[in-house]
Amino acid sequence: MEGGGGSLVLVVGPSGVGKDTLISGAREALRGDPGFVFVKRIVTRHADTQAEDHDSLDVASFDQAEAAGHFSLSWRAHGLRYALPGSVASDVARGRIVVANGSRHVVGDAMARFARCRVMLITAEMTLRAERLAARGRETGKEIAARLAREGAPLPQGVEPIVVDNSGTLASGIAAFVSALRSLSPSRA
């Protein structure tokens, strides 16, 4: 288990709640604070400027990197492979708060690996999520309805997430997200 004074913050929530938007806004708001690190996850999908901010690897390269121990965490979901870079463990050990777009599928592994792992659950009203998913232009209305009907895997028993509602304005969502992140910093506790 990784120790140190830092922590890993996994940002989770159903599609369309604005996880990437909040992460981007917090990255900007906390740009000058070396206590916070924002990492991109690695996905076996081509980078798409209209979707999440991530680094891409093909499946063979992903498998090689995983076998070589280059990832702090890895998981499968939605027919894709996901990972967080190895730098997460070293940043947490250095006392930093590392923020990453995660998945409910990896929360158990993350909590077993990192002594201080927190889950930030982003929520938003269903109609707003539907509008956001439609604006992406990647799915038909029928596919969006099916996606909204699947809320995703539950969090492991005993995990109490920090909940941030992103149903209001962008500014209020980012402010709530940044406030929640700052509350985790030992220097601000």
186 is in an annotated binding site: no
43 is in an annotated binding site: no
pLDDT of residue 49: 45
**25 known member of a binding site:** no
Local confidence pLDDT in tens for the 189 residues of the chain? 555 579 999 999 988 899 999 999 999 999 999 999 999 989 987 655 445 567 888 899 998 999 999 999 999 887 889 999 999 999 999 999 999 999 888 999 999 999 899 999 999 988 888 888 888 877 888 888 877 777 667 788 889 999 999 999 999 999 999 999 999 886 644
85 marked ligand binding residue: no
**Domains within the chain, CATH numbers bracketed:** 7-40+87-188 (3.40.50.300)
Contacts of 102 (CB under 8 A, 6+ apart): 10, 11, 12, 41, 84, 110, 119
Q: What is the pLDDT of residue 58?
A: 87
Do the annotations mark residue 34 as ligand-binding? Answer: no
**Does 13 count as an annotated binding residue?**
yes
The pLDDT, as a whole number, for residue 163 is: 95
Exposed (0-12), middle (13-18) or buried (19+): which is 50, by Cβ within 10 Å?
exposed
Is 127 in contact with 108 (CB distance < 8 Å)? no
